[in-house]
Amino acid sequence: MTLSFCVFFLLLLCGLDIVTGDYSLIVFYLIPVSLAAWFVGKKSGLLFCLLAIVARFIADGGCCATITTHSVLHYWNELIEFIFLIMMSLLFSALKNNLDNEKELASRDPLTNTLNRRSFFELAEHEIDISQRNERPLTVAYIDIDNFKVVNDKFGHQVGDELLITVVSTIRSNIRRSDVLARFGGDEFVILLPDTPGNAAHKFLSKIHFQLDQSMANKNWPVSFSIGSVTYVKVPSTVDEIIGHADELMYTVKHGGKNRLLHKEIWEGTNG
């Protein structure tokens, strides 16, 4: 759609250039160039720079009865216009990339590169809508690392950071592309499992729990994991509700001896 509009606008400018004659419309040629660079990419922006100059040459020929000889100054101006368009195209594409990178960084935890809490809520709302519309189950798991403070105190924060990164890599190696992983706090993580019924969710999370224990044992880190998980057959309307139930089950595990998975299946949500 964007490219089609840019082509149409470029042809329109070429026609206006022929009609107006020797008046420079180079500023207006910047419109399709900048749109292509911003919404499509750097290569498209550069392509429209070239097309813009071609259009200018066509206009030069069309506005004259014959192809007259232009002065060196005229061709010098054409070259300057081309360089101007290229510079602006590169500037727009670089600015867009920087904005995209800033947005990506703002949505993720800087240490583990998982989603942060705010981004998780945005994605979870989307998954809730899909689950409700398709009447499909939704599972959420709340994971807390037991005795994480002991690792920081005994081995230092650098080892603590390494532990968190290992936890994330272990979880990521077991979850699906459609699943959502986020870091909610210093040692708390949440996994959202779309379209996952109760039996499959319990088996799946039990495997993750086992893999996490193995990863910690391989490093001789004295931690374990308390996991509370809920499968909603009828999904509630709010993210707070689905997180709240899993959080409550996780704390039940924490107060009951830690290092366990407690899973519950809920058939009716309160929906607000």
| Residues 149, 123 share a domain | yes
Q: How many domains does the chain have?
A: 2
Q: Is the same domain home to 142 and 172?
A: yes
229 and 101 within one domain: no
Whether residue 230 is contained in a domain is answered as: yes
- Check whether residue 18 and residue 98 sit in a common domain: yes
Q: What percent of the chain has pLDDT over 90?
A: 44
Out of 54, 71, 106, pick the residue that ends a domain. 106
Out of 76, 106, 136, a domain closes at 106
Within this chain, do residues 132 and 188 fall inside the same structural domain, yes or no?
yes
Among 53, 74, 106, the domain boundary falls at 106
Does 259 share its domain with 167? yes
Residue 65: band (very low, low, confident or very high) from pLDDT cuts 50, 70, 90: very low
Please give the full DSSP string across 148-211, using - where no structure is assigned. HHHHHHHH-HHHHHHHHHHHHHHHHTTS-TT-EEEE-SSSEEEEEEET--HHHHHHHHHHHHHH
Mark whether 7 and 48 lie in a shared domain.
yes
* Average pLDDT estimate for 38-54: 85
Look over the chain and give the mean of its residue pLDDT values, rounded to a whole number.
Answer: 85
Tens of pLDDT, residue by residue over 80-105, are 888 888 888 888 888 888 776 666 66
For the cut 50, the answer to whether the pLDDT of residue 66 exceeds it is no
Is the domain of 173 the same as that of 42?
Answer: no
* CATH number of 139's domain: 3.30.70.270
Are 99 and 121 contained in the same domain? no
Q: Which residues contact 236 (CB under 8 A, 6 or more apart)?
A: 128, 242, 269, 270, 271, 272
Domain span holding position 228 = 117-266
97 with 133, same domain: the answer is no
Q: Do both 130 and 38 map to the same domain?
A: no
Task: Tell me if the pTM is above 0.75.
Answer: no
Query: HEC profile for 207-272?
Result: HHHHHHHHHHHHHCCCCEEEEEEEEECCCCCCHHHHHHHHHHHHHHHHHCCCCCEEEEEECCCCCC
Confidence of residue 272 (pLDDT cuts 50, 70, 90): very low
pLDDT digits (tens, 9 = 90+) for 20-30: 766 667 788 88
Partners of 227 in the β-ladder: 143, 261
Q: Is the pLDDT of residue 51 over 80?
A: yes
pLDDT for residue 164: 96
